[in-house]
Amino acid sequence: MNLDQITFRAGSDLDLNAVRDVYQDSGLGERRPVDDQHRFANMLKNADLVITAWHKEELIGIARSLTDWVYVTYLSDLAVKREWQRLGIGRELIQRTREVCHPKAMLLLLAAPAAEKYYPHIGFKHHPQAWMIPGEN
């Protein structure tokens, strides 16, 4: 398989089960409330920017972001089904996310532990001054 066989779309009007499948298959579902249908649906619905990757009619990847469009975009989720990883789909989802926003807008994210080494490889820089207050489980 190669990137030429993949189409990319913008929009969050998606089948929730298909999105859940991507999250679970990619491993991101372990850190997201995929079993809380109401919360998971609202995560998708309330995102400002959703870019998806498709092979024919199968959803295989998603980039879900919150943004003000001009200064900062928070890439809250990047997930690609395992069999489709390492083909450049994640990188392309990120690139298409960046293209929608102002060229000077920064893109930031919190990396999943298993993906910490991926992000520097594609141009992200570590930012040690980040802070967070975790939500309740």
What does the domain layout of the chain look like in residue ranges? 3-121
In CATH terms, the superfamily for domain 3-121 is: Gcn5-related N-acetyltransferase (GNAT) (3.40.630.30)
Tokens of 9: 């779309």
Q: pLDDT digits over 97-130, tens only?
A: 999 999 999 999 998 887 888 898 888 999 888 8
Which residues make Cβ contacts (< 8 Å) with residue 24, sequence separation at least 6?
34
Residue found under tokens 């594609």? 122
**pLDDT at res. 137:** 64
Digit-coded pLDDT (tens) for 20-67: 999 999 999 999 999 999 999 999 999 999 999 999 999 999 999 999
Cα–Cα distance for residue pair 127/64, rounded to 1 Å: 21
Q: Which two tokens stand for residue 90?
A: 């994640």
